[in-house]
Amino acid sequence: MPDAQKELAGIARLLVENAQTLTDHLVQQFGERIPALPHDPTLVDLLVGSTGSNLETLAHLLQGHAPIEGIRAPAAAVEYARRLAQRGTPPSALLRAYRLGQQLVLQWANEQIVRQMSDPLLALATSSLLTDISFQYIDAVSEDVIEAYQDERERWLANRSAVQRETVDALLAGARVDLAAAEAALGYRLRQHHLGVVLWTTGGDAGLAESERLLARLAKQFGSGHPLFVPRDRATAWGWIPIGRSADLDLDAVVAALADALGDGLAEGEAGVKVALGTPEAGEPGFRVTHLGAAAAHEVSLHNQGSEARVVSYADPSVRAAALLSRDLAAARRMVARTLGDLGADTEAAARMRETLLAFVEDRESYVATAARTHLHKNTVKYRIDRAIEVRGKPLSEERLDLQLALIACKWLGPEVLTPAPR
């Protein structure tokens, strides 16, 4: 046996003798220098087991009792990696623990080499052999634990998502559920006020990850805790923002924040996320009601794919009316044709007149208020209103309720209810 290898075997025996002290030191350093690692007693116990088993396996390797080619991660190390995956601890924290562990063990071992060997060349050869073998060990074992982490993370997320979907479906169906069990499954408190959200992507590079980041941003700004995010397919997700004991939420501020985040007014067809909001509701029943509002607003938005609106709120009375009208599109289509006449044509000119006329009707036929709302000159508003009345062929007072509903249908349901433009 070469002298360096013989000396290294002696260092390995010292490693075994001091394993408990070294394990305690390494675990302490991991806790102080890697904040992302969990600090609860159960996970710390698993970390102690993982660290101790890694030191024991490394000592066997250094003594030549096991070939480097057959080295696998100890069972305790694999179990610790799986638990970190279940907790959502980033894998970078696990890898950093292995790098830091290697550094600290090398420092300790090199101190023993210096203390025991008077021949500097032998000490250098032993230290180099130690470094080489420890690197091979960490390289092999870290691959094993990261693979175990990734497999467990995928399995855990799939199972958790399935449980979440089942729980959410039961709540939305109005089924009787154990609230404590439901909250544990969702990781979300039901006994509070909620704001339901539907998020969906419209193409390009936007996806569920972007939707989840947007929901987290909203919850941080307006909520009282972590939101619940439940993907439904590759493009659509349901969300709930917790808003605590009070329903005092400024929905206009939420819409404004969303419009700013999403860049309202982007060019038609540009990729991104769209959002439909419910209204704040309380408790377990409110969890369902606020979602139904958001889902209705989402359905309204889907009827008019060409709309530039990226945020739709069920708190808007016109959205609520459009949601009801969308349940019978044939009847809505007939009402639009009967009530608006040529004003219901699918043309840009008719759309401009309808937009101004709807604002005029909603603002109690005030030219000044309509001008401020539509950012038009008062004379322009008057011209468009007069022209809209002329194209419609009826005065505003005739079928006033049908007129407002027809204008709302045109605004939100678009081509679904409009009269096709002549070729």
Query: Is CATH 1.10.10.2840 what the domain over 328-416 is classified as, yes or no?
Result: yes
Write the pLDDT tens digit of every residue in 179-219.
888 888 888 999 999 999 999 987 655 577 888 888 988 88
Continuous segment of H or E residues that includes residue 282: strand 281-282
Q: What is the pLDDT of residue 267?
A: 37
- pLDDT in the model for residue 68: 78
Residue 231: predicted pLDDT: 86
Distance CA 248, CA 396 (A): 38
What residues contact residue 182 under an 8 Å CB cut-off, 6+ apart? 167, 170, 171, 190
Paired tokens of 316: 């808007």
Domain boundaries, the chain: 3-157, 193-315, 328-416
Q: Which of 81-90, 98-107, 265-274, 350-359 has the lowest mean pLDDT?
A: 265-274
As a whole number, the mean pLDDT across the chain is 88
Say if residue 1's pLDDT is above 50. no
Q: pLDDT digit string (tens) for 231-246?
A: 887 788 999 999 988 7
Tokens of residue 400, six digits: 């006033």
Q: Stretch 375-379: mean pLDDT, rounded?
A: 90
Query: Whole-model pTM?
Result: 0.62
327: DSSP letter: G
Tokens 């073998």 locate to 133
C-alpha 153 chain-centroid distance: 16
Residue 296 has pLDDT above 90, yes or no: yes
- Mean per-residue pLDDT, 66-75: 84
Asked if pLDDT for residue 269 goes beyond 50, the answer is: no
Q: What is the mean pLDDT of residues 276-294?
A: 94
Contact 319, 395 (CB under 8 A): no
Cα–Cα nearest to 29, from 105, 115, 90: 105
Q: How many CB atoms lie within 10 A of CB 16?
A: 15
Architecture of the structural domain at 193-315: 2-Layer Sandwich (3.30)
Domain with residues 3-157, CATH architecture: Orthogonal Bundle (1.10)
Q: How far apart are CA 349 and CA 393, in angstroms?
A: 16
